[in-house]
Structure 1
């Protein structure tokens, strides 16, 4: 008796498989051929052209990040970093209603200004990097379709771009859309969905402003406008809706969104956080979501597993001394020379003593909230106790909070950052975030990869969720590894119609992570200058990802890119065994 050995492109041996279903880990081999999983089990009789030993390591589906802003980056770069360095193998762009298509040539600066203000993408980076080889949304997709990436990318129709294309200046001044405007947007939305967009996204928050302070053009778009656009998705029978709102008039807003969900008959996800000025509002939104689900409406919450706020350092966009005259005078120096100057005792004393000058930054008063900010540390801590606040450290040292903050940022060779959280930790703990993560109608999201480049890097959320919530948390309950993996893979993939990934099963895409879980470590944020025009962005790396596979090819090995670019544009919903088209 003998066993016939079959050939495969790649076989992963002896891994602890966490398959994305939420079930406990089990030991198995995985055989891969032509970018698909062809077999999964113990002792597989396959011989791989390449074999990888995953003994003692987690083997998981690749992570599916449904809340990113790589709309610009993917037009000039083949690398979807930092997300692709954190186990993410598929990203969904176009969130919060901002993007670059459709766009008439005369409106390009409007969309650049909006993206610069809303997502902190510098104008010089965008004007240098964007090739603007498109006008319509299908043409934008055709441009992306010609490119190769280290992760799959997918798109949504951004409401702001859609509105400007249909209405011009009237969109910017937020005039109500006429019946003709609505019909135009509906038609454009249908074209985009037919071309392969996965959905439509919009913003209704006052926090989203163009670089000149103009509120986002969709802030108070009428219900009739949202329904008209959503009708294009309904009539196409596919596509999701994504929305962020302040919920300032919460009863009215939720009632309106329910009517939109009812009339469009499409899945809707809304951003839910613990807002510090209304720390229990998230409960109201989740209760509303439960009621919607009970009545058959597909409504879910997009939630985060850590505080969202501002990373403040001497190289980031903001710090407590950003608007002092002496600090501003140092901004023209190269980063290394600036750090050297900041160590000079005379410069240090002068900056600490100076009163910040007035600025047009709406949050400038927060930059000296000593009772809120704390050092993130070389081992980033997103749930510190009160003794770690700058005010408390300063009191123990017998110095002013300003002196303390300055010296803390000088640590790590002048690259240390202070964390100024503004949501999700109102009571000093992440217990509210835990409740949101565990809610049956929540989706892991809000990583914002590709955005907030000068003061945030939440694209590292997948690594944080695994290391903190499934291993390291000592301030309360944790999540299990299968829970976290399911939330990062299957749940997000299915939510946006990508049913060909997110599970380790025969016939599914071979998007896979091999993770040394015990060694998995999130590193402190660092500023890099690797964008067009030497643009700056905050980057946060990790160690412990042994390998990441996209479409069966290894794109990351031990934290280093292999150069393989098997990622492509995904057009429309996908079923197991289908291709991107």
Structure 2
């Protein structure tokens, strides 16, 4: 047959930003082979897409599915919301290179810095690798319903050369250590990595919210600029790859200069995380947008990863770790649940917690909402903000929260909207056509966050509800732009010869469904999820993976090695 599948009568938005058109898309052997008016008689199967949108699959540049992909071939939540390619290894965190004796320690780090349950990693990962190339071989062997693009995460690379103590000491690597780390980076790039990543959030700065399991800095948090530049030179020498980084040292001008230097030294794209509006501090995102515009005008390849979702955080203090920018809270929330309970209930510690009220991730502390009290005497506070509870009880904000949480063994559930709720500020970010939508953090913060549905949310909120941009532009920014930055220019578009990553959805009825709790992780662990409604068909490399919003247990995903 001439085609494996023909999608007929759909409204095609090809991801290029060009105008939509009514037409058919033919696929054969995983490739888009014809576009236009096609006969179904020449196809093994046909799909009638009358009244539906046909578009390229979405590409998510910021995920942490490095572990989850081994037990969840669909990389959900992302796959449920039209994402067909994800980039893993973000923020400098991952599982290779890791020696066998360091595996447990590597997993412990991820229990806090990305909040992935330890037992799920212990039971769900095959650990049939040591080096980064061997890790990629394991990913390739694993069945996948998602395309995977890997960064080289710098933290395990630094640890493998300098040891844990050396990598976490903050000392500058020796010339021999720099040389060996660069050799390992080149080896990893030769194996197919798309570039390298590093989170740089030193605990001494205002953004130190993602730390090691013991509350100390991750290696990249205290990495020297000179080391980052050595790694940038490798990409420049190869004229390939890109960089993902976030840096908040407390000196934004110096941070921006460093990212510009990374881009100039490497000659490659640098994706900066994140461009986020804070309702109480709009000057921050405006300053960032002005800087990105200046980079663009000067030809410096720095791009902003936006935080455009309003997924929010649902959490209990039994697990929550994103108050780490405050030393007192960091110390109080390290350890087992019982250790946390004792520390948070210790009145001798309370003054230090009152003195350091957190808010970097959640926004104003007083706006956190108590959503699910466990004891009858606390039901009166259901759906109250911490600020209102404090006002009614005459307590300090911190005591208002902790007295209830401690009385309920830290099982009280709270919810915090992100600090970027004002639509007019979101529009200022959306108005920059080169800011990426997101961030999903897929595979991480599994008990707090369900931001993997950001493509669906973006179409509904930014296009349909507020009409900030056209449907043509949103598909370019959800597919084609991230594909270009990830080094996958053949993807993210519907064009002849492109891989057939295609979604078919009902624009009028597309929805993000309410949050749920699923006990579907290895070891009986649970996570929060939000499913989608309206995705009629999703194809990856020409093969259907989702029909009517349901997984159909087909695994045509690929490891997309960069050469």
Whether these two folds match at TM > 0.5 is: yes
Helix, strand or coil at the partner of 2:292: helix
Q: Does 1:125 align with 2:120?
A: yes
* 1:392 CA drift (Å): 9.3
CA distance 1:224–1:530, shift in 2 (3 Å): same
* 1:222 CA drift (Å): 1.4
CA distance 1:370–1:163, shift in 2 (3 Å): closer
CA distance 1:171–1:292, shift in 2 (3 Å): same
Instruction: Pick which of 433-442 and 540-549 moved more.
Output: 433-442
CA distance 1:55–1:204, shift in 2 (3 Å): same
* 1:111 CA drift (Å): 2.0
Q: Does 1:23 align with 2:18?
A: yes
Q: Which residue of 1 aligns with 2:173?
A: 177
Q: Which residue of 2 aligns with 1:225?
A: 227
Q: Deviations over 1:17-71 (max 9, x none)?
A: 1111122321101111001111111355762111100000111101111110000
CA distance 1:95–1:449, shift in 2 (3 Å): same
Instruction: Pick which of 28-37 and 297-306 moved more.
Output: 297-306
Q: Does 1:453 align with 2:446?
A: yes
> Aligned equivalents of 1:135 and 1:197: distance in 2?
16
Q: Which residue of 2 aligns with 1:255?
A: 257
CA distance 1:224–1:17, shift in 2 (3 Å): same
> Aligned equivalents of 1:391 and 1:254: distance in 2?
36
Q: Which residue of 2 aligns with 1:533?
A: 523
CA distance 1:110–1:274, shift in 2 (3 Å): farther
Q: Does 1:189 align with 2:185?
A: yes
CA distance 1:571–1:311, shift in 2 (3 Å): same
Q: Which residue of 2 aligns with 1:13?
A: 8
> Aligned equivalents of 2:318 and 2:218: distance in 1?
27
Partners of 1:17 and 1:25 within 8 A in 2: yes
Q: Which residue of 1 aligns with 2:533?
A: 543
Q: Which residue of 2 aligns with 1:470?
A: 463
Q: Which residue of 2 aligns with 1:270?
A: 272
Partners of 2:272 and 2:304 within 8 A in 1: yes
Q: Deviations over 1:430-489 (max 9, x none)?
A: 32222222313312232110001011111111111111111134xxx5332222111111
* 1:288 CA drift (Å): 2.0
Q: Which residue of 2 aligns with 1:243?
A: 245
> Aligned equivalents of 1:287 and 1:436: distance in 2?
11
CA distance 1:110–1:28, shift in 2 (3 Å): same
Q: Which residue of 1 aligns with 2:549?
A: 559
* Aligned with residue 116 of structure 1, among 111, 135, 139: 111
Helix, strand or coil at the partner of 1:219: helix
> Which structure 1 segments of 5+ residues have no match?
1-5, 324-330, 333-353, 378-387, 410-414, 574-581
Q: Which residue of 2 aligns with 1:481?
A: 471
CA distance 1:211–1:22, shift in 2 (3 Å): same
CA distance 1:479–1:390, shift in 2 (3 Å): farther
> Aligned equivalents of 2:353 and 2:80: distance in 1?
32
Q: Which residue of 1 aligns with 2:501?
A: 511
* Aligned with residue 291 of structure 2, among 288, 292, 296: 288
Helix, strand or coil at the partner of 1:489: helix
Counting only pairs closer than 5 Å after superposition, residues 378-397 of structure 1 correspond to structure 2 as 390=385
> Aligned equivalents of 1:571 and 1:245: distance in 2?
27
Helix, strand or coil at the partner of 1:302: strand
Counting only pairs closer than 5 Å after superposition, residues 289-368 of structure 1 correspond to structure 2 as 289-307=292-310, 309-312=312-315
Helix, strand or coil at the partner of 1:22: coil
* Aligned with residue 279 of structure 1, among 278, 282, 307: 282
* 1:490 CA drift (Å): 0.5
> Aligned equivalents of 1:417 and 1:547: distance in 2?
36
Helix, strand or coil at the partner of 1:241: strand
CA distance 1:269–1:569, shift in 2 (3 Å): same
Q: Which residue of 2 aligns with 1:385?
A: none
* Aligned with residue 440 of structure 1, among 410, 430, 433: 433
Q: Deviations over 1:349-405 (max 9, x none)?
A: xxxxx979769999986699674235999xxxxxxxxxx97479989x999999x99
Q: Deviations over 1:403-438 (max 9, x none)?
A: x999xx9xxxxx99754134323xxx1322222223
Q: Deviations over 1:292-345 (max 9, x none)?
A: 22222211000122236422379985999xx9xxxxxxx99xxxxxxxxxxxxx
What TM-score does the superposition give when structure 1 sets the normalisation length?
0.81
RMSD of Structure 2 on Structure 1 (CA): 3.5
> Aligned equivalents of 1:460 and 1:372: distance in 2?
24
Partners of 1:312 and 1:319 within 8 A in 2: no
Instruction: Pick which of 218-227 and 189-198 moved more.
Output: 218-227
Partners of 1:243 and 1:269 within 8 A in 2: yes
Partners of 1:301 and 1:443 within 8 A in 2: yes
How many equivalent residue pairs? 515
